């Protein structure tokens, strides 16, 4: 096969520059139309379902997905696919959670928690969420984006390290400016074209990779070659792993994956904020479902390319970067997707895919910055400084966004010391320690009216402290780290999937004990905020909003997820 030009050409730079010009114009245009905090954070509550669903998808699919998920495909096969088949959880968001959030008229999810419990629960969730955003999502997303620059432009800025830092700081700064001035309107306006770029670009990589793997004999030949190569390493690439697997035992996956999914898709401000911008309840639910339809595809267009890259490497058709861990030579998984871009694509198209990667990075970070600003402004600042003008709150929101951008940039050097090849798994493990108490509070709060403010505070605070204790032990104690005392080393090495389940159980216990040790909430406080207290007229409105179109979309999501589980459960047999 003829060797391809692996450098970024002037045509590629032109495509990238045009993309950034378009983003700048949109941010300027929509920034001129910001009138108040509702406009800035919720796009004036007038968004359609396509924009909502696309925004949910692009907020979720950041560079850590495109880079990290492909890396996981190359190193662990289908193990992380369970997290990418969470499209079914968006049915829970649309069917169960959205009606309560939307009818409550809240701007943030912690605000809903205050309505259900009290101000302590709201503040606690806001603080925990902000800490989580800065130290996981911002840092991991920026780190992954920097790897893209490091791989695609290794010599452009003098060295690979220079390319890493230039990429990290430039993209964060540009994204921060576009979010500060454009707000949610700019994010929603760019969501649809960015979703198209991400889907089309990643699909193109998948198709070209299969074509090359099949030696030009067609896509099916390439897929057959991929399956045959993976079958020889079935223990590494299977969807379901035995209980003896140290990283992804099937029971641990079944326990942890839904807990993380319910927290992320149904209770996290970062995602749910998009549905709150809908023009009515039916649109909010349809937007969540449309996001679920888009969420079905990442396994095929992000994870599969990683396995294609690994298979090309195994056959000697492409050379991937490697690293040495404990004397063993391993593929640097996080470099796989950028290497596929440079190895497979011609000039011009290569620039389009780089723009696709930048779109993923920017849309994810922009959504995160905006959600963080909303949490601070609405849930913390307004509590400390009530009765401020709309314009004042808008300025505070923009300042808060700027601060989050700065904190994210300051945290980048810490992420630099993380060993390569595991960003996505690292992210899921950290989220596994943050998700359980929040998921427990929302689930029990909606389904059991006896849960009160004391129980919520105990569950949130206790679960968060236990999760941070596990994370600290994992960072410093265990194999190849500090071995003594042994009990701390054992906690550090304990499988993160089982740890997620134990943290969830502990949070539920704290919730129940705390709730039963105090009087039940007053009926007027929880009216309309639990399933058993929704009034008849509200039930009728909720029922009407779950119309035929929403039912069909939910059925299609379940059919697609079920089909993918059925195929990949047996694809290596």
A 10 A CB-CB count for 146 gives 26
- 502 found inside a domain: yes
Report whether pLDDT(121) > 50.
Answer: yes
What pLDDT score was predicted for residue 459?
Answer: 95
- 1 found inside a domain: no
How many whole angstroms separate alpha carbon 17 and alpha carbon 12?
9
- 483: which DSSP letter? -
Angle at 487 between CA 486 and CA 491, to 5 degrees: 115
Nearest of 426, 343, 421 to residue 140 by alpha carbon:
426
- 281 found inside a domain: yes
What pLDDT score was predicted for residue 1?
Answer: 36
1 against 12, higher pLDDT: 12
- 48 found inside a domain: yes
User: Which pLDDT band holds residue 455 (cuts at 50, 70, 90)?
Assistant: very high
38 against 101, higher pLDDT: 101
A 10 A CB-CB count for 196 gives 14
SS3 letters across 342-393: HHHCCCCHHHHHHHHHHHHHHHHHHHHHHHHHHHHHHHHHHHHCCCCCHHHH
- 471 found inside a domain: yes
Mean of pLDDT values over 292-306: 88
Report the percent of the chain where pLDDT is more than 90. Answer: 26
* Domain harbouring 456, CATH code: 1.20.1730.10
Mean of pLDDT values over 99-107: 83
- 4 found inside a domain: no
User: Per residue in 445-471, is it b (16+ CB within 10 Å) or e — as a string?
Assistant: bbeebebbbbbbbbbbbbbbebbeebb
Are 291 and 52 a contacting pair, CB within 8 Å?
yes
- 2 found inside a domain: no
Q: How far is C-alpha 175 from the geometric centre of its chain's CA atoms?
A: 17
What pLDDT score was predicted for residue 442?
Answer: 94
Nearest of 279, 368, 287 to residue 91 by alpha carbon:
287
What string of DSSP letters covers 121-151?
HHHHHHHHHHHHIIIIIIHHHHHHHHHHHHH
pTM: 0.83
Angle at 200 between CA 206 and CA 286, to 5 degrees: 120
> Which residue is it, tokens 């830092």?
165
What pLDDT score was predicted for residue 552?
Answer: 95
How many whole angstroms separate alpha carbon 466 and alpha carbon 472?
10
Domain that holds residue 267: 10-570
Report whether pLDDT(3) > 60.
Answer: no
- 267 found inside a domain: yes
What pLDDT score was predicted for residue 49?
Answer: 82
Q: How far is C-alpha 286 from the geometric centre of its chain's CA atoms?
A: 20
- pLDDT tens for each residue of 170-218: 777 766 666 655 555 555 566 567 667 777 778 888 888 898 888 878 8
428 against 291, higher pLDDT: 291
User: Which pLDDT band holds residue 40 (cuts at 50, 70, 90)?
Assistant: very low
Number of independent structural domains in the chain: 1
């Amino acid at each position: 096969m003829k060797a391809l030009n692996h450098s970024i050409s002037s045509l590629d730079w032109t495509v990238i520059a045009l993309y950034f010009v378009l983003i700048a114009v949109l941010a300027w245009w929509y920034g001129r139309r910001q009138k108040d905090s509702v406009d800035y954070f919720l796009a004036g509550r007038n968004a359609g379902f396509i924009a909502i669903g696309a925004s949910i998808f692009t907020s979720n699919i950041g560079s850590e997905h495109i880079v990290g998920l492909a890396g996981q495909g190359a190193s662990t096969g289908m193990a992380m696919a369970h997290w990418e088949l969470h499209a079914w959880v968006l049915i829970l968001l649309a069917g169960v959670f959205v009606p309560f959030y939307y009818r409550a008229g809240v701007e943030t999810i912690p605000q809903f928690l205050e309505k259900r419990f009290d101000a302590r629960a709201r503040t606690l969730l806001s603080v925990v969420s902000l800490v989580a955003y800065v130290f996981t999502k911002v840092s991991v997303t920026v780190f992954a984006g920097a790897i893209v620059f490091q791989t695609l432009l290794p010599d452009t800025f003098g060295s690979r390290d220079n390319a890493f830092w230039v990429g990290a700081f430039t993209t964060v700064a540009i994204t921060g400016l576009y979010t500060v001035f454009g707000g949610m309107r700019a994010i929603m306006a760019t969501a649809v074209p960015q979703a198209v770029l991400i889907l089309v670009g990643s699909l193109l990589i998948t198709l070209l990779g299969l074509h090359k793997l099949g030696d030009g004999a067609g896509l099916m030949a390439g897929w057959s070659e991929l399956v045959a190569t993976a079958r020889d390493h079935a223990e590494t690439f299977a969807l379901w792993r035995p209980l003896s697997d140290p990283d992804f035992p099937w029971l641990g996956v079944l326990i942890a994956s839904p807990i993380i999914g319910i927290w992320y898709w149904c209770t996290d401000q970062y995602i749910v904020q998009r549905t709150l911008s809908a023009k009515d309840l039916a649109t909010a639910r349809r937007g969540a479902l449309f996001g679920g339809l888009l969420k079905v595809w990442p396994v095929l267009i992000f994870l599969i390319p990683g396995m294609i890259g690994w298979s090309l490497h195994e056959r000697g058709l492409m050379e991937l970067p490697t690293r040495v861990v404990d004397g063993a030579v391993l593929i640097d998984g996080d470099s796989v997707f950028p290497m596929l871009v440079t190895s497979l694509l011609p000039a011009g198209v290569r620039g389009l895919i780089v723009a696709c990667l930048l779109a993923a990075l920017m849309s994810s970070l922009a959504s995160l910055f905006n959600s963080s600003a909303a949490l601070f402004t609405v849930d913390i600042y307004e509590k400390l400084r009530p009765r401020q003008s709309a314009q004042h709150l808008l300025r505070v929101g923009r300042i808060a966004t700027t601060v989050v951008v700065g904190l994210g940039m300051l945290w980048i050097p810490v992420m630099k010391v993380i060993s390569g090849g595991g960003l996505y798994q690292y992210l899921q493990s950290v989220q596994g320690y943050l998700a359980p108490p929040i998921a427990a509070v929302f689930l029990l709060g909606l389904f059991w009216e006896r849960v009160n403010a004391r129980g919520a505070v105990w569950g949130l605070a206790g679960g968060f402290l236990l999760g941070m204790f596990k994370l600290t032990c994992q960072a410093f104690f265990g194999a190849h780290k500090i071995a003594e005392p042994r009990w701390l080393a054992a906690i550090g090495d304990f499988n993160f999937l089982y740890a997620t389940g134990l943290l969830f159980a502990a949070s539920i216990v704290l919730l129940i004990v705390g709730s039963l040790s105090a009087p039940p909430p007053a009926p007027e406080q929880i009216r309309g905020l639990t399933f058993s207290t929704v009034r008849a007229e509200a039930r009728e409105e909720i029922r009407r909003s779950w119309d035929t179109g929403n039912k069909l979309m939910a059925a299609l999501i379940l059919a697609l997820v079920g089909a993918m589980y059925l195929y990949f459960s047996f694809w290596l047999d």
